[in-house]
Structure 1
Amino acid sequence: MTINTILVPQGSEYMAVCRGLSRVTGKTPKIIPVPVGKKPLTKYLQQLPKQEYSTGYLQPKVLVVGLCGSLTPQDCIGNVVLYESCIYQEQLQICDFAFTIEIHSALKTHYPTLKLVKSLTSDRVICSASEKQYLGKTLGADVVDMEGFTTLEYFNGSGVAVAMLRVVSDDCHHNIPDITAAINPDGSLQPLSLALRFLGQPIAAARLIQGSLRGLKVLEEVTKSLVAEL
């Protein structure tokens, strides 16, 4: 199996993946940090040179990694999941099946609970536990993120195989701070705005930070394990 490029949300997720791959001997895929949110990510991908993810005559393979939030009780913090598909406003995009199965086969020994899930792509952070559970039940989605559908929409139909590997960092039983307003139009985070929202909901913020740290550690390990198998 070959992975040409790994796309990962900029910031702490990108740094976790870099830490993981720094512990792999030999050649590793190119790692590209991408912005959060549909509009900034679409703009970024449109401007991304093809040579960043395509080499030679073989079908390019792009792996998207990062954290996600759970919409069901079955998907707990620290769980590793592989996407089957992503939905956004009643639209559906499918991950490359063969590439996804290759990744599942490479990881199943180290991560026996690894499973295939359906993801919801959201324009905002889903912060209410009741809304998470409602979306999970009504849409049949297992997890949520802010990049999945956009990436598939861009690459599908262009001859690029895309798979998505995520780590759950937020469960569906608790509220988290609404940090949507702390996301800049370019997809980056405003540290001061983020801190103010955390101060307004300290318990929820502590839970979010704890889940994120746990998820980032698993993300570091799972990307290392996967690339070491290449």
Structure 2
Amino acid sequence: MSNFLPINTILVPQGAEYKAVCRAFRGVTGSMPTVIGIPVGMKPLLKYLQQGQFLAPKSRVLIMGLCGSLSDRYTVGDIVLYQDCVSQGKQQECDRTLTTQLHSSISQKLSLVKSLTSDRVIWSTTEKRRLGETLAADVVDMEGFTALEFFNATGVSVAILRVVSDDCQHNIPDLTLAINSDGSLNPFPLAMAMLRQPLAATRLIRGSLTALKVLEQVTNLLFSGYSQK
């Protein structure tokens, strides 16, 4: 493990985000963090974490993935490092030491942000802007607060780094019905949601592909101290 980034475990939403992070470790021969795919959404993630025995106390966890922007300041492809997460009037802070280490390890443009964690997909520009303004939040995801609340109570240090995949100037398809109760994606409702809003779907796909590429690049950058074949 590299001296400057003592990460034991990387948690990343299952699916395309998980695959992007794993691609960054192709060819790594040295010891590396364990990369674990987690369910999408607050309730599925909490259930998963409560059932899991995969982390020891004093572990250092990095949560990675994509997020949506709630502010004109952040657009597709921007890398954001969380300071804290809010949800339903509560706040959880990321580990300051680990966050500082991450911040100093990335030479690319990186923004420290406040995140909102939502139990549903925030898809309309109107709601994105309203939430951004009323909560003073910069980005939105569906897992951050739950993970922080769980790990902060168990003595596990957590930092969160994500890449913006959709801005606050355009709607994305409403994918609420496409997420199963276990946090997996249901292909048929997903396809139907995309077909109902083809322009928004095209924009979301394009933004996601851009963000996934950046996610892979920033993972590679962070852990480039590991030995390669």
Paired residue secondary structure (2:181): coil
Return the TM-score normalized by structure 2.
0.94
Partner of 2:56: 54
Q: Summarize the alignment of residues 199-218 of structure 1 with structure 2, pairs less than 5 Å apart.
A: 199-218=195-214
Partner of 1:116: 112
Partner of 1:155: 151
Unaligned runs of 5+ in 2: none
> Post-superposition shift, 1:25?
4.6
Unaligned runs of 5+ in 1: none
Partner of 1:42: 46
User: RMSD in angstroms over aligned alpha carbons?
Assistant: 1.1
Q: Is residue 102 of structure 2 the alignment partner of residue 106 of structure 1?
A: no
Paired residue secondary structure (1:41): helix
**Which residue identity is paired with 1:210?**
R
Paired residue secondary structure (2:75): coil
> Post-superposition shift, 1:228?
1.5
Distance in 2 of aligned mates of 1:87 and 1:181:
24
Partner of 2:193: 197
> Post-superposition shift, 1:21?
1.4
Paired residue secondary structure (1:28): coil
Q: 1:25 to 1:73 in 2, by over 3 A?
A: farther
In the alignment of these two chains, the number of paired residues is 222
Paired residue secondary structure (1:21): coil
Match of 1:226 among 217, 222, 227: 222
Deviations 1:130-163 (A, max 9, x none): 1101111110000000000000010003111000
Q: Is residue 30 of structure 2 the alignment partner of residue 26 of structure 1?
A: yes
Return the TM-score normalized by structure 1.
0.94
**Which residue identity is paired with 1:42?**
L
> Post-superposition shift, 1:227?
1.3
Identical-residue share of aligned pairs (%): 59
Distance in 1 of aligned mates of 2:21 and 2:159:
16
Q: Is residue 94 of structure 2 the alignment partner of residue 86 of structure 1?
A: no
Partner of 2:12: 8
Paired residue secondary structure (2:223): helix
Distance in 1 of aligned mates of 2:154 and 2:216:
29
> Post-superposition shift, 1:215?
0.4
8 Å CA contact retained: 1:24, 1:228? no
